[in-house]
Chain A
Amino acid sequence: MAELDINDAVLTTRLDAVVNWGRKNSLWPMPFGVACCAIEFMSMMSSKYDLSRFGAEAMRFSPRQSDMMLILGTITNKMAPVLRTIYAQMAEPKWVISVGVCASSGGMYRTYATLQGVDRIIPVDVYVPGCPPRPESIIYGVMKLQEQIEKESLSMRKDHIARFYESLERQDALQAAKGLTSQQTIREMLMDAGERGVGTIF
């Protein structure tokens, strides 16, 4: 009888589904803007394209207060340790969108100075192609991320991020042991990963 009294006040669901529903509709973006993609991002956030329609309008410039990092521009090898630190500082659970070809693969900058894709040093969830991509493209990337969040399991996301923290500890240990700069440490980790045939250092 009790079930009948509360019939439409209760909804049964899976925990993953309800938590992920909340997560995907309240993303807090943090722009890591280093090049022209950041200009498209500004346009995406402001009234004409308006990302707040997708529940991600609370932009924060502190990694501590955000959970979706948008990498907007060319990441140089000198910037690589900074990117890793900023990613580590973000609130969990966290997601990364690599916006534009420079962030995704180095783009046209196939040189000694440019990191050939941020997915070598931090886990990336969605890649947005374009040079720079239009605001619609970046919004489409955010929508793809929302679809992905909807489907993922809570523990997998946790393990995913834990693997990154483990690599950060390896980086610190290597840096202390060899007395290198953080840039050179990441470079050596990348070289080592490349020789082992692995594409990433985490």
Chain B
Amino acid sequence: MVSIALLTTEHVSLHLDPLRTALSLVVDPIRYLVDLPSETAGRINYSIRSYSSLRDENKGLRETQLANQIRLLKYEALEKENIRLRALLENSYKLGEQVLIAELLSVNITPPYENIVVANKGTRFGVHPQQAVVDTNGIVGQVLRALPNSSEIMLITDPNHAIPVQVNRNGLLTIAVGTGELNRLKLPFLPDNADIRPGDLLITSGLGGTFPQGYPVAVVDAFDLPAGKQVTATPKAALDRNRELMIVWSNTKPITLSPDPLQSPEPKPEPAKTPAPLVIKDNANEQ
């Protein structure tokens, strides 16, 4: 039958993407319709908040903004220094990322043991598959499929997802695999004598090319060494609480450093801005 033909076609190739795109135009309104009640609730909640609570929030935000600004100042100096040092080592420098803020739609499209969520930005905003998705605490997942008005995001805790990571303390490389539970990752590929301790921060290693390097992923849980069981980790990102996500465009083309290294990063952010119309911030990546 036709459906079997469709199944096999999509299994082996990408030729059906236009069909999916067309059908998604019919189906997307349903997703937004289901999302409507919770969105309205949020909006009402927002509009009836009292003046004083808004003022307090504003004050708090201003303080964090100030603190962040100061940290950024220092960060810029560090970045320049890093570039200089890398130029000394004749190494290349990878320029940073841009982010697009997207919001989750509160729909539940998969059975509970699969962790795939839907966000409200799609190919219209330049989103494409395999982009990394982060929140303010760490890596959330990657874009699995981008439709015109929405995109499906596979969380790092999905059982079919694996992310190359690095222990921040000593640079030990390994892979973190999802378990299906929103608060657990497992590290199945560690040798018995690996130097890993409870509380270690795992960051993305940048291997594989999907995830930009240096974002926090998870913290290693307490474990019993002699038991020989798998080491697990807790994701940094608030996977079950956040509604706002950031979809990251990473500029994967490394800049080869010229003899005048301080000039090179300056002109780059401008041309990179064009693909994403709604870019709100761009910052250079560390290393």
Query: Does A associate with B in a complex?
Result: no
